[in-house]
Chains A and B, each alone.
Chain A
Amino acid sequence: MPRMDERDFNELVDKYSEQLYWHIRNLVGSHEDTDDIVQDTFIKAWKALPSFRGESSPSTWLWRIATNEALAFLRKQRVRAALRFESLDATAERVIDDDPWFNGDEAQRRLAKAIFRLPDKQRVVFCMRYFEEMSYEDISEVTGTSVGALKASFHFASEKIKDLVQLEQD
């Protein structure tokens, strides 16, 4: 595969920046944080472009960088919350309720908060499957997790989401 250059990079930006934004937004919730992570993702992609050998498709490669960036952000967010003695529920409330760029109805608000309470792996597979409607095979390529494990994670995540949404309703 020929080496990618600036023109190829701009094609990736045109083709995938919006989809990638929503991928990250579903994972981290806040618009401001998503904006930062999208930029970090493309900066990393640009720096890694010379070593991109085309073993996976450019979209899989970008999704992998973005997912790793989002997960790294979530880990830091959890550490910061722990240092402030803030619970996961309180973080979810803060991120979703304080985001001026969330205008969903009550059901969507409950769903967003429930997703926030999922463990990282379950959150990733749930968002990619439910919102992005990606196949398990594609998710497997991005995350490096087996299809079987992804199916199990999605099942557990869905059950948890149902319980959490139900709990909020009561």
Chain B
Amino acid sequence: MRKNNGYNVPDGYFEGLRTKLSSIPAQEKQPTRFQKFAPYLALAACFAIAVLIGNFILNKTTVPSASDDEIIEYLISSDITLAQIEDYLISNQ
């Protein structure tokens, strides 16, 4: 038995309240497991995209390197003489 404290409510209020409260699950669907992890997945995807873009830019801006064998092959196949190479090396010392 509730102690009378002078407060009252409109007629039929509690029936209406129960109906209103029972509709909460339909209105406030609990997030699925995917929805819960969606922000983390989005973050991981952003990170992966940033890495891919960074990699692409680096590949575009970096001068391709060649091995010693490839350089020697190139020099042999070109018309450059040994004297020209020596001159170049001396002038750059």
- Residues of A bordering B, CB below 8 Å: 6, 9-10, 13-14, 17-18, 21-22, 25-26, 29, 31, 35, 38-39, 42-43, 46-47, 49-50, 99, 101-105, 108-109, 111-112, 130-131, 133
Q: A22-B2, A26-B5, A104-B7 are in contact. Are A43 and B28 (CB under 8 A)?
A: yes
Interface of A is mostly: helix
Interface residues of B in 22-40 (CB under 8 A from A): 22, 24-25, 28, 30
A130 to B9: give the CA distance in the assembly, Å.
Answer: 20
Which residues of A lie under 8 Å from residue B2 when comparing CB positions? 22, 131
Chain B's closest residue to A14 (CB) is: B18
Interface size class of B (residues with CB under 8 A): 10 to 19
Q: From the candidates B7, B18, B25, B30, name the one contacting A17 in the complex (CB within 8 A).
A: B18
Q: A6-B25, A46-B30 are in contact. Are A130 and B3 (CB under 8 A)?
A: yes
The interface centre, meaning the residue of B6, B17, B18, B28 with most chain A CB atoms within 10 A of its CB, is B6
Residue B10 lies at the interface, judged by CB distance under 8 Å to chain A: yes
Some 27 contacts from A to B, beta carbons below 8 A apart, are A9-B24, A13-B21, A17-B18, A21-B17, A22-B7, A29-B7, A31-B7, A31-B10, A38-B17, A38-B21, A39-B24, A42-B21, A42-B24, A46-B28, A46-B30, A47-B30, A49-B30, A99-B7, A101-B7, A102-B8, A103-B6, A103-B8, A108-B4, A108-B6, A111-B5, A111-B6, A112-B5
- Residues of B bordering A, CB below 8 Å: 2-10, 14, 17-18, 20-22, 24-25, 28, 30
Q: From the candidates A29, A39, A46, A101, name the one contacting B8 in the complex (CB within 8 A).
A: A101
A112 to B17: give the CA distance in the assembly, Å.
Answer: 24
Chain B's closest residue to A9 (CB) is: B25
Q: Are B5 and A13 in contact, CB atoms less than 8 angstroms apart?
A: no
Please give the distance in Å from A84's CB to the nearest CB on chain B. 25
A131 to B2: give the CA distance in the assembly, Å.
Answer: 7
Please give the distance in Å from B25's CB to the nearest CB on chain A. 5
Chain B's closest residue to A105 (CB) is: B6
Which residues of B lie under 8 Å from residue A18 when comparing CB positions? 14, 17
A42 to B18: give the CA distance in the assembly, Å.
Answer: 11
Please give the distance in Å from B55's CB to the nearest CB on chain A. 40
